[in-house]
Structure 1
C-alpha cells in the first residue's frame, strides 16, 4: 500500500536532518495517514478510507465526502477515491431514473 492520500495526493517528501555541525543526513517526511470511516449520505453507509489528516479537514470543509468527490476532477483523485466516486454516481443515476 502506497504512503499516499487518495483524496488529496499528499505523499512522502524527502529532506535532510541538519545537525549543529551542519552535517546532513537523509530524512523522509511521511504524511499523517489515518484509516477512518466516513459516512456517505448518498450511499447511506460508512466508507472505510486511508486518508491524511489534512484530507479529513478538506472533506469536512467542502460539505462531506459526497460533495467533495462530486466536485473534484477525476485526475486529482487516487484509485480508491475514484472507486467510491463511481459508486456514488451509479446510485445517483439510479435514484434519478426512479424519480423520473
Structure 2
C-alpha cells in the first residue's frame, strides 16, 4: 500500500534517527494519512480518498469541489 496523499501528492520522507551518542540510522517519516469519503452534490455520488491531514483541513475550509479543482484531482500527475 503506497503512502501517498491522493489529493496533494505528499509522500513519506527519508531521514536519520540520531541517538544521544550521535549514532545515525536511516528511518522514514510517514505522512498522516486517512481514508475519507466525500459526497459530490453535482454528480450525486460518493468518492473515497486517501488523504493527509493537511488536505482535510483544506477541504474543510474551501469545500470538496474547490479542493478537487485546486489540486487538479483526476488529471494525470507526474
| TM-score (structure 2 length as normaliser) | 0.82
**How big is the shift at 1:38?**
1.1
Taking the aligned partners of 1:73 and 1:17, their CA distance within structure 2 comes to: 32
**How big is the shift at 1:46?**
2.0
The aligned residue for residue 10 of structure 2 is 10
**Structure (1 or 2) with the larger CA radius of gyration:** 1
- 1:21-56 superposed Cα distances (whole Å, 9 cap, x missing partner): 000111101111111111212122221111111111
Between Structure 1 and Structure 2, the one with more strand by share is: 2
Residue segments in structure 2 that go unaligned for 5+ positions in a row: none
**How big is the shift at 1:73?**
5.4
Residue segments in structure 1 that go unaligned for 5+ positions in a row: 75-80, 84-100
Aligned residue pairs total: 75
Secondary structure of 2:54's aligned partner? helix
Taking the aligned partners of 1:30 and 1:60, their CA distance within structure 2 comes to: 23
Between Structure 1 and Structure 2, the one with more helix by share is: 1
Moved runs in structure 1, 4+ residues, more than 6 A? none
8 Å Cα contact 2:7/2:71 also seen in 1: no
Secondary structure of 1:8's aligned partner? coil
